[in-house]
Amino acid sequence: MPPTRPRRPPPGRRLPPGRRPPVRLSTRIAGGLALLVITASGIGHAVVTGVSGAIGRVDAFSGIQDRPDGTRGTNFLLVGTDGRGGLTRTERKAYHLGGVPCHCTDTIMLVHLSQDRGRASVVSIPRDTLVRLPGASRGAAARSAAARTTTGHAVAVTHPAKINEAYADGGPKLTVRTVEQLTGVHIDHYLEVDFVSFMKTVDVLGGVPVCTSRPLKDSYTGLNLPAGTTTLGGGRALQYVRSRHIDADSDLGRMDRQQRFVAQVIHRITSSGTLTNPVRLERVARTVLGSVRADKGLGAADLITLARGMKGFSTDSSEFVSVPLRDLNHRVPGVGSTVRWDPGKAGRLWAAIRSDQPLAPHRKARHKGVRVDVPPSRISVRVANGTRTNGLASSAQQALHATGFVTPGAATTADRPSARTVIAYDPRWDRSARTVAAALPGAQLVPAPGQGPVMRVTLGPGYTKVRPVTADAQEPSGVARTGDEVGCGGTSGV
């Protein structure tokens, strides 16, 4: 028998002195999305009503003020928390799951189901997104008293934080409120899945295949995956989706792997006969529905309505995208490295969600260019002019940005002239440096240990133009892909 799910400790609990910090788990989203796919694909009335009472309930909306207006279609906020209660000591050791949970969200996805129930748009929100949360920062002396204006009236106090702290500070309601304020999208339903939910979902599906064009290893999670396609059970699948030390892409690369895994879950459910086999369907449904927590308003009637409207749902009915970013390493005192969204591109993305428009209505052919390993959307570049040509650095930085690179800050002038174009890079990010070099033919790569993730380019007289580059594995952030393209059947295997 699988372990029973323990009562969840209250959000925000601090770690006991001397306890190890938790291992960061990346996503239990597969369980929540599996719930949507199963119900949307024709699950029967008897199965839904029979197990809907087993869904854990959470208050996600009461008391939230100034909410955005509702939109066409239905919006779900899916969050993955780091709950791991009920695991055996052997499981914890086998899958590198030591430590205690922080009761925060390592994964946040907004799923939009179109009004005609023919499309699901999945948007990944980076866990390191910079936000402002209510109250003074943790440990601040100001926490004990509200700030006051010169007239003595209390004013609202907020502090900078990463978005994944919202759950620890205020649970589901603060998480919903924060996402709604950032996106302007009205959240209709909330789904929460944890470690045990994820493993149960993968195992009841008989495992989920993942594909990779190169071996993947992460000593932190114990992942050791060969090149090719491998079917993973719950434990190994968890290692795959939470690994963030495979390469320098860290959490952003992990988000791409999460999307691929979710696409494979959809494919597994819709192509394995699950939906046409009543016995297997009920077993999968009972496992998934009994392993998630949802808002109090999501009931059997909602699930049945989805079921009637979304028959025929498949991987080509789904589309995946991550929020477009402007700065991949924005340092904030007391918070650390955060990411900041590209306001224009992100604004257009959320406007499409609000207006129930497809994110990938007509997929254009991939742009031609030199094939690279790391996509430019995962690389920050700063450019300095080492020539006597005025404005050269600005034009080069604009060209790099147009090619897909992240270019925070303005171009500068080098301290001294440079005989050739130089790319200074931290050896930890050598794969990213090779992508920049491919875009700047003839440039010299110069190691700069300790420099960090930002590539620093100094232009020399030999610079002429930026050459287009493309990564088979990933698309730039903000570019939507269908489920077929994200999964193993497409060209996007990591």
The string of DSSP letters for 119-157 reads -EEEEEE-TTBEEEEESSPTT-GGGGS--B-TTS-B---
What is the spatial distance between Cα 235 and Cα 200, in angstroms, rounded to a whole number? 9
pLDDT of residue 443: 94
pLDDT in tens, 242-271: 777 776 555 667 677 776 777 777 677 766
**36-45, 132-141, 181-190, 407-416: the lowest-pLDDT one:** 36-45
| Residue 219 CA neighbour count, 13 Å, CB half | 0
Burial degree of 125 (CB within 10 A; 0-12, 13-18, 19+): buried
**26-40, 164-178, 349-363: the lowest-pLDDT one:** 26-40
pLDDT of residue 26: 35
Are residues 455 and 248 in contact, defined by beta-carbon separation less than 8 angstroms?
no
Q: How many angstroms separate the Cα of 7 from the Cα of each of 36, 84, 289? A: 24, 11, 17
What is the spatial distance between Cα 98 and Cα 89, in angstroms, rounded to a whole number? 9
C-alpha torsion 95→96→98→102, nearest 10 = -90
Cα 247 versus chain centre, distance: 16
What is the spatial distance between Cα 106 and Cα 242, in angstroms, rounded to a whole number? 9
**189-203, 237-251, 313-327, 348-362: the lowest-pLDDT one:** 237-251
> How much is the average pLDDT of 422-449?
93
pLDDT of residue 393: 94
Does residue 1 register a pLDDT over 70?
Answer: no
Nearest to 5, CA basis, from 279, 289, 266: 289
Residues 6+ apart with CB under 8 A from 485: 363, 491, 492
Does residue 350 register a pLDDT over 70?
Answer: yes
> How much is the average pLDDT of 270-277?
64
Token output for 11: 């959000």
Counts for the chain of helices (H) and strands (E), in that order: 13, 23
Residues 6+ apart with CB under 8 A from 160: 130, 131, 132, 137, 332, 334, 335, 338
Q: How many angstroms separate the Cα of 474 from the Cα of each of 142, 218, 428? A: 44, 20, 20
Residue 58, φ and ψ in degrees, nearest 5: -145, 145
What is the spatial distance between Cα 18 and Cα 61, in angstroms, rounded to a whole number? 36
What is the spatial distance between Cα 269 and Cα 480, in angstroms, rounded to a whole number? 22
Within 10 A of 180 (CB to CB), how many other CB atoms are there? 19
Written as one string, the DSSP assignment of 341-397 is E-HHHHHHHHHHHHTT--SSSSPPPPPP-EEESS-GGG-BEEEEE-SS-TTHHHHHH
- What is the sign of the dihedral through the CA atoms of 7, 259, 275 and 305? positive
What is the spatial distance between Cα 201 and Cα 221, in angstroms, rounded to a whole number? 20
Token output for 20: 């190890």
Instruction: Please give the domain boundaries of the chain with CATH numbers for all domains.
Output: 29-128+168-324+342-365+477-486 (3.40.630.190), 370-467 (3.30.70)
> How much is the average pLDDT of 230-240?
84
Token output for 350: 């959320």
Q: What is the average pLDDT value for the chain, to the nearest integer? A: 75
Residue 131, φ and ψ in degrees, nearest 5: -140, 175
What is the spatial distance between Cα 400 and Cα 439, in angstroms, rounded to a whole number? 8
In which band, very low, low, confident or very high, does the pLDDT at 48 lie, cut at 50, 70 and 90? low
Choose from 98-107, 295-304, 399-408 the range with maximum mean pLDDT. Answer: 399-408
SS3 content of the chain, % helix, strand, coil (to 5): 35, 25, 45
Token output for 280: 């297997």
C-alpha torsion 207→118→32→304, nearest 10 = -110
> How much is the average pLDDT of 468-480?
61
Does residue 447 register a pLDDT over 50?
Answer: yes
Between these two residues, 110 and 278, which has the higher pLDDT value?
A: 110
Nearest to 323, CA basis, from 247, 251, 381: 251
Residue 416, φ and ψ in degrees, nearest 5: -145, 155
Nearest to 320, CA basis, from 117, 456, 482, 149: 482
